[in-house]
Amino acid sequence: MADSIITVAVLPERITAQNANTVYEQLAGSSDVDIDCAGIAHCDSAGIAVFIAVKAARLAKQQTIHYHNPPKQLYDLARFLKVNRLLFEQQQ
């Protein structure tokens, strides 16, 4: 893993159904593999679906992506949906 976490452009503070497609395109088209999620203030289930879809798309191409520093709300939602280990491997 790289020494530093790369931020893809600037992730929006809110990831919801309203901007899910835009965020997907931004992440799926990125060459970065380490994504800092610290700036996300709110994420709904559509946002979680984006993170899963991007990870799946990249794995299908034998590429990786790692999400780091999930805020509590994001991590708690992922844990509720039982995907926290898939998305945030060994965090929190």
Name the band, by pLDDT with cuts 50, 70 and 90, for residue 14.
very high
d(CA 48, CA 16): 9
Kindly state whether residue 22 falls inside one of the protein's structural domains: no
Determine the 3-state secondary structure of 6 from DSSP. Answer: strand
Total number of domains constituting the chain = 1
Range of the domain at 69: 34-92
Name the band, by pLDDT with cuts 50, 70 and 90, for residue 91.
low
Name the band, by pLDDT with cuts 50, 70 and 90, for residue 67.
very high
pLDDT of 1 > 50? The answer is no
44: nearest Cα among 87, 81, 69: 81
50: nearest Cα among 69, 39, 31, 65: 65
pLDDT of 70 > 70? The answer is yes
Q: Are 26 and 56 in contact (CB under 8 A)?
A: no
